[in-house]
Amino acid sequence: MGFYLTITSRDDKKNKSIRKDNYMTQLEMPLDEAIESESMIEQLKKADHFYIVHYCKKRDQIEERRCYWDDKSKIWETNQGKVAITCVAMDNEEHTIDGYRTFTNIFQVVGRKAIRGSEAMQ
């Protein structure tokens, strides 16, 4: 079970929706609502990890980064009016903690919840 968030432009309020199926909850919301959304923060807290798809100005490309939410993480608006997410970023290859990162120019946030199977006693 996970969630999928698409952040739309501030003027595109007609796209706000929440859809659910057996595997994913999809949230679409405008920028100003994403910043203040308690439901989005709750979903990020519940997720085992999530992926942020964003534009990386340093490498001039769109990248996906694995992250997780903790008590120092936050969603806020920059002085330029962009949504920013500060969270714990992980190395994409080794899944080790890379440190806190702030992401802007975000296209998607996709959360994943770990599926725990039954453990056999040996």
What is the per-residue pLDDT for 117? 53
pLDDT in tens, the chain (122 residues): 455 566 554 444 444 444 455 445 566 666 567 777 787 888 888 888 888 999 999 999 999 999 999 999 999 989 998 889 999 999 988 889 999 999 999 888 888 776 665 555 44
Alpha carbon distance 60, 9 (integer Å): 22
Label each residue of 81-119 as H, E or C.
Answer: CCEEEEEEEECCCCCCEEEEEEECCEEEEEEECCCCCCC
Q: What is the pLDDT of residue 61?
A: 95
Residue 90 CB partners (closer than 8 Å, separation 6+): 49, 65, 66, 67, 68, 96, 97, 98
User: What does the domain layout of the chain look like in residue ranges?
Assistant: 2-112
User: What pTM was estimated for this model as a whole?
Assistant: 0.73
